[in-house]
Structure 1
């Protein structure tokens, strides 16, 4: 057994390095170390739960007031597993509260440090529960949407919502409420991250389809899809739900309907590279 099985690779986001430098210059290094300790404990909650489900984990990226665990499982594992891994992080804050109460009751740590830790533990917990991607609240929002909507649409909606919310907050803070540099930088960081994820949304969806094509996605039910013969394969895939197997019913002129299995469509796209063919052509070829 290697040490990596029990301790993930930990990376530091460039914006966190800026905060570390600023903390040295402003004499707030102790506060930053408390924040990083809480964030790391939070991320280990995600990591431990993911290990319970035997997820493949690349590492953890730390940034101020939060972090992101990078895995290969998004959209392919059971939805219940993803929800449990997501809430395992916020759940860690309850243990931190208990630990702080113990330290306070036994006067092990100065009261000023305890008060700071209580404040930052609450702030980080509430911040991470905001319904903004890629915070835990945003992931929970995406998981709920992906249970109700096609995977691609759910992902697009949560990113659009996060971008709009960040922009609104930044404008409100600049124009209507007292300016706070730390809050401004955090929401600016979230805006930049969401903009980057928006640009990568196509590749996220392709990865979701590839895992499905290779039989690596969790499936527990069937959901038929009805489409017109003239739409393209990628438009068909945009109707795919997570955890559902799709029988695709194609309507031709004259109200003639034929069915095609989703694996035939995925094979045609990824193996035969029929990127620009319509679903009607694929169906007619297979039935002929």
Structure 2
């Protein structure tokens, strides 16, 4: 057993380094340390729950008012596990409230620090529940959408919604609210993160398919699909749902129907590299 089994690898985002430098220059280093302590405790909630379910965890990226736990399990584990791992972070804030209450009653910490920690604990909790990817609120929206829509569409929709939400928050702050540099940088950072995720969405989906192809995806039900003989494999894959196995029924001219298993389709795509062959031709050659 190594230390990594008990403690995550922690990375610091470059934007956090900027805030650390600014905190030294402006005399707000103590405030930043309080924020980072709360953020780290929040992320350890995600990490602990993920470890309970034996997820593969690469590490934790910290940035001001939040962080991201990087895992290899998105879209492959049971939905209830993903939801529990997601809400484990916000749940940590309840323990922080109880700790602050205990410290305030026992007068072991100056009241100014207690009030500061209480404020930032509430602010970070509410911030992480915003419906913006990859915040916890955005993840919960994605998890709900992925139960109703194909995985690829759910991911695309949550990124589009997050980008629009970030733009709205930036406009509201610039026009209707007093300008706050830290808040502006945070929402601008989230906007850039979502823009980057939008560019990488195809590779996220390919990783989802590869996990499925290698049998690493949790399956608990069957959802038959009916497709035309001239459909391409990627168009069919785009309608794959999480936790569902898809028997595929191919309709040929003359109302002829043949079936093909999804694993045969995935094998044809990844192993035989039939990127441009229609499903009808692949089915006929089996």
How would you bin the TM-score normalised by the shorter chain? Answer: over 0.9
Partner of 1:219: 219
**1:215-245 deviations in whole A, cap 9, x for unaligned?**
0000001000111111210000001000000
The equivalences for 1:26-65 within 5 A come to 26-65=26-65
How many angstroms does 1:167 deviate by? 1.0
Partner of 1:7: 7
Partner of 1:257: 257
How many angstroms does 1:183 deviate by? 1.1
Structure 2 spans left out of the alignment, 5+ residues: none
**How far, CA to CA, are the matches of 1:236 and 1:202 in structure 2?**
14
Is 1:92 matched up with 2:69? no
How many angstroms does 1:79 deviate by? 0.5
How many angstroms does 1:182 deviate by? 1.2
What is the DSSP-based 3-state SS (H/G/I as helix, E as strand, rest coil) of the residue aligned with 2:267? helix
Partner of 1:139: 139
Q: Give me the TM-score of the superposition, normalised by structure 2.
A: 0.99
How many angstroms does 1:85 deviate by? 0.3
What is the DSSP-based 3-state SS (H/G/I as helix, E as strand, rest coil) of the residue aligned with 1:109? coil
Partner of 2:177: 177
Partner of 2:198: 198
More displaced 10-residue stretch of structure 1: 163-172 or 42-51: 163-172
More displaced 10-residue stretch of structure 1: 162-171 or 192-201: 162-171
How many angstroms does 1:285 deviate by? 1.3
How many angstroms does 1:173 deviate by? 1.6
CA RMSD of aligned residues (A): 0.7
Structure 1 spans left out of the alignment, 5+ residues: none
Question: Deviation above 6 Å: which 4+ runs of structure 1?
Answer: none
Partner of 2:237: 237
Q: Give me the TM-score of the superposition, normalised by structure 1.
A: 0.98
**1:161-188 deviations in whole A, cap 9, x for unaligned?**
0001111211222222221111111110
**How far, CA to CA, are the matches of 1:190 and 1:161 in structure 2?**
12
**1:70-114 deviations in whole A, cap 9, x for unaligned?**
000000000000000000000000000000000000000000000
- In the alignment of these two chains, the number of paired residues is 286
**1:176-201 deviations in whole A, cap 9, x for unaligned?**
22211111111100000000000000
